Amino acid sequence: MAPPLLQLTDIHLTFGGTPLLTGAELSVGEGERLCLVGRNGSGKSTLLKIAAGLVEQDRGERFVQPTATIRYLPQEPDLSAFPTTLAYVEAGLAPGDDAYRARYLLEQLGLTGEEAPANLSGGEARRAALARVLAPEPDILLLDEPTNHLDLPAIEWLESELKAMRSALVLISHDRRFLESLSRATVWLDRGVTRRLDKGFAAFEAWRDEILEQEERERHKLDRKIAMELDWLRYGVTARRKRNQRRLAELGAMRRERREQRRVLGNVDMTVSEADLSGTLVIEARHISKSYGERRIVDDFSIRILRGERVAIVGANGAGKTTLVEMLTGRLAPDTGTVRLGSNVVMARLDQTRSALDPEASLTDVLTDGAGDTVVVNGQSRHVVSYMKDFLFSPEQARTPVKVLSGGERARLLLAKALASPSNLLVLDEPTNDLDLETLDLLQEMLADYAGTVLLVSHDRDFLDRVATSVLMAEGQGRFVEYAGGYSDMVAQRGSGVGARTVEKAKAQKAPKPAAEKPAAPAPRRKLSFKDRHALETLPARIAELEKAVAELAAKLSDETFYARDPEGFARVSARLAEVQGELSAAEERWLELEMLREELEG
């Protein structure tokens, strides 16, 4: 077996007085695909920084093969020392690396390379940082929340790019679909130590639950044994004899073991404050449009949203999702058309930008709006500290200012504030950002039980599949099309994913057109990249495989007795047929595009 490229052994680290890592380990071999999972605050990012050599452990060993190259993607990249995004990406290249790849990756991620770092949004800075770590094609990629601030097209592109790379991967992400697609092994960081499962993330949660159930059984046995020994100590007439001092010492050892056990953190207890039911019709929009200058954001859009529906809005960043939400909720007037809210609609909002949080305010002030120390939830008055505990905040954090909270803690605080407000219409803008997987599960369950209506903007495909009853897809040029079901249903109906970004740069839109403009010089001809040439060679065989699969699945469905024999199997085969047809359509379109480009270049 080949030696690992990177090895962390018996890693210990303490921040303040609390041990964060108490014997954590990590081994990364050539080409391995690992996901690193655990609760918010468990130390995942810190362990990744130790692996990258950016944080020194208190105890333990870090070994890296001398020839191995490592690139690390931080959650908050710093581009301030560079004049442009291209300069930032090129600074990450080593001698002999392909400089063209830096420009290629920036272009694929929707950047030109000429952007000044000071003017970048969070999503654009994340894209530049991704280009920097991907460009050298290192031996090991350490990626901390790579999908944060990315839109769906960028996430799907990144997923495809990482699959094609030979680099070993260590991923931290809250995006289930992303982890399931890329991981081949799972490392669980829990209470300071790591456990490894040599299967992808899809098998993790069942494995984790089995371990936690076994721990609970062992804890119960220990409690019973302590109770028995205490009973002997109180009532046994021989308890004080010298020969029984060993038994007393064992009881003391059991008590210490029980006291020192680090139990799993509790779960968030989400309860949404529900107002009286709204009318059956919640929102009705008729032929609404919105433009900024010559750019059409929403074009002739109509929809009726009924009570109990969960409508998700997806698409590229800048496609007009937030503008559409603002119009549908009455906060922004359309240029044309009308929006009508139904009777008795009471709205609560979750703002993804965290702008609702004053960095200097304490948690108590945020939850009570600075009025006392009680929160009214579902008509009942609760002390703010009790309510904070439902969202895993300690009593000591009651007077903590918002500015010292982590991203995950801020996300939980915003959820706590939004859910305390009585509502029958929840408007959630990127609610999954920075939430750990367990909290995401509880949020999904809460939304499933919510009697009101949900308007949702999200780039989390798994979350959309679990929550949404319909999806509004930004198709470009201000067009939004509604598809029944979740994200996967939308993909099956469209025959492809969210597609390439089509959003133009704001600067280009605002630039005034010269009065007398010379004919534009012809754009330089694009060259076929290695990836394009490889696709041209392999796509015909792939298309043939998909055509064969479509024929086989269609043959199964043509059996008149299939549905009567196995309704669930019939549904699975139908879903698979739609999926394969979508893949076939996408492959044919890609091959046709490349073939036309090849003919143009050769002609």
- Identify any residues that bridge with 339 across adjacent strands, giving them in sequence order: 285
Which residue type is seen at 238?
T
Closest CA to 71 of 98, 43, 94: 94
527 is in an annotated binding site: no
225 is in an annotated binding site: no
42 is in an annotated binding site: yes
Quote the Cα angle for 381-382-387, to 5°. 140
Give, in order, the Cα–Cα distances in Å from 332 to each of 173, 264, 297, 311, 314: 34, 45, 13, 19, 19
317 is in an annotated binding site: yes
Q: Which residues contact 40 (CB under 8 A, 6 or more apart)?
A: 406, 408, 409, 412, 434, 435, 436, 439
Are residues 318 and 476 in contact, defined by beta-carbon separation less than 8 angstroms? no
Residue 237 DSSP SS3: coil
432 is in an annotated binding site: no
520 is in an annotated binding site: no
- Decide: residue 515, CB within 10 A, 0-12 exposed, 13-18 middle, 19+ buried: exposed
Q: What is the DSSP string of 46-81?
A: HHHHHHHTSS--SEEEEEE-TT--EEEE-SS---TT
Report the side by side order of strands in the sheet with 18-28.
Answer: 18-28, 6-15, 59-64
Closest CA to 208 of 46, 47, 39: 39
Cα 327 to Cα 322: distance, rounded to the nearest angstrom: 9
Are residues 69 and 138 in contact, defined by beta-carbon separation less than 8 angstroms? yes
Are residues 11 and 192 in contact, defined by beta-carbon separation less than 8 angstroms? no
Cα 213 to Cα 532: distance, rounded to the nearest angstrom: 50
Are residues 64 and 105 in contact, defined by beta-carbon separation less than 8 angstroms? no
Are residues 152 and 316 in contact, defined by beta-carbon separation less than 8 angstroms? yes
Buried-exposed string 219-232: b where 16+ CB fall within 10 A, e elsewhere: eeeeeeeeeebeee
| Residue the block writes with tokens 């679990």 | 466
194 is in an annotated binding site: no
Residue 387 DSSP SS3: helix
| Six-digit token string for 424 | 């029958």
Quote the Cα angle for 117-120-124, to 5°. 110
Cα 42 to Cα 439: distance, rounded to the nearest angstrom: 14
Distance in Å from the first CA to the final CA of the chain: 51
Cα 426 to Cα 78: distance, rounded to the nearest angstrom: 35
Cα 82 to Cα 92: distance, rounded to the nearest angstrom: 12
Three-state secondary structure string covering 505-537: CHHHHHCCCCCCCCCCCCCCCCCCCHHHHHHHH
- Identify any residues that bridge with 509 across adjacent strands, giving them in sequence order: none
Residue 339 DSSP SS3: strand
The CA dihedral of 136, 139, 142, 146, to the nearest 10 degrees, is 50
Q: What is the DSSP string of 30-41?
A: TT-EEEEE--TT
521 is in an annotated binding site: no
Backbone angles phi, psi at 36, to 5 degrees: -105, 115
378 is in an annotated binding site: no
40 is in an annotated binding site: yes
Beta strands 295-306; 281-292: pairing state: antiparallel
Annotated binding site: 38-45, 315-322
Annotated binding site for ATP: 38-45, 315-322
